[in-house]
């Protein structure tokens, strides 16, 4: 029984299958790098947001809006997803306090500022996810492309030597199928990262919406004395 030696198989591949393996290797490195980088970003955002909520909750109860703005703008919370929307909303509310605009218009203006900040934040958090989706959907096809050329090479070798039967092309087909297997593995890694990270983004979206809603409700209660 022949040994399963990936190095020997790679060396015996044609130039096109080797190029395909190189492309798949780059795709796998990109997927892992983006996945790890996004995980670190999301971990920092979650940790900082948790700490910020504890501070903001106390300041809101004491009616210290300016202190809330300063706390949300602190460098300690620069990666917090909640700080992004709270700073936008608090700054807009403070700005509107100096205007003669109707109360309802002030609230709507703050909501629009929060929406803009939320969209901007989500774009940042989704950075790289489209690449993972692309790799997840195209990885197997890239591997199959290499396999097709590997099989063609195997049959050409059989034709040139005059050999027949599966034994003559078994090794060549086995080498060719390596690219398909590699392509599937790359796609699995990319899809797993994509689904996990997209779920995190959805959670952040909900948390940002809840935080902004609580901010507006707090402002309304303060103004109406409810």
Tell me: the pLDDT tens digits for 26-85?
999 999 999 999 999 999 999 988 888 778 777 766 666 677 777 777 888 888 888 888
Q: DSSP alpha helices (H): ranges in the chain?
A: 6-12, 15-61, 65-73, 81-97, 103-125, 129-161, 166-224
Q: Establish if 179 belongs to a structural domain.
A: yes
Q: Establish if 18 belongs to a structural domain.
A: yes
Q: Angle at which helices 129-161 and 166-224 pack, to 10 degrees?
A: 180
Q: Establish if 4 belongs to a structural domain.
A: no
Q: Establish if 7 belongs to a structural domain.
A: no
Q: Establish if 144 belongs to a structural domain.
A: yes
Q: Establish if 182 belongs to a structural domain.
A: yes
The two three-digit tokens of residue 115, written as one number: 């929406």
Low pLDDT (below 50) residues in the chain: 1-2
Q: Establish if 3 belongs to a structural domain.
A: no
Number of domains in the chain: 1
């Amino acid at each position: 029984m022949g040994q399963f030696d990936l190095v020997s198989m790679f060396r015996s591949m044609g130039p096109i299958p080797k190029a395909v393996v190189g492309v798949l290797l780059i795709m796998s490195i990109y997927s892992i790098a983006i996945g790890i980088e996004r995980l670190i970003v999301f971990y920092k955002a979650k940790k900082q947001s948790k700490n910020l909520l504890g501070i903001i909750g106390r300041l809101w109860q004491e009616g210290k809006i300016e202190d809330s703005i300063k706390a949300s703008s602190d460098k300690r919370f620069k990666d917090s997803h909640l700080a992004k929307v709270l700073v936008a909303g608090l700054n807009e509310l403070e700005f509107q306090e100096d205007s003669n605009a109707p109360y309802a218009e002030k609230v709507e203006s703050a909501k629009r500022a929060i929406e803009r900040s939320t969209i901007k934040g989500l774009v940042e958090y989704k950075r790289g996810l489209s690449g993972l989706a692309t790799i997840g959907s195209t990885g197997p096809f890239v591997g199959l492309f290499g396999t097709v050329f590997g099989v063609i090479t195997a049959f050409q070798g059989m034709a040139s030597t005059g050999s027949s039967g599966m034994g003559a092309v078994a090794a060549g087909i086995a080498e060719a199928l390596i690219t398909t297997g590699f392509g599937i593995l790359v796609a699995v890694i990319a899809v797993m990262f994509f689904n996990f990270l997209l779920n995190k983004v959805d959670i952040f979206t909900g948390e940002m919406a809840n935080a902004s809603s609580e901010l507006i409700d707090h402002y309304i209660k303060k103004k109406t004395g409810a």
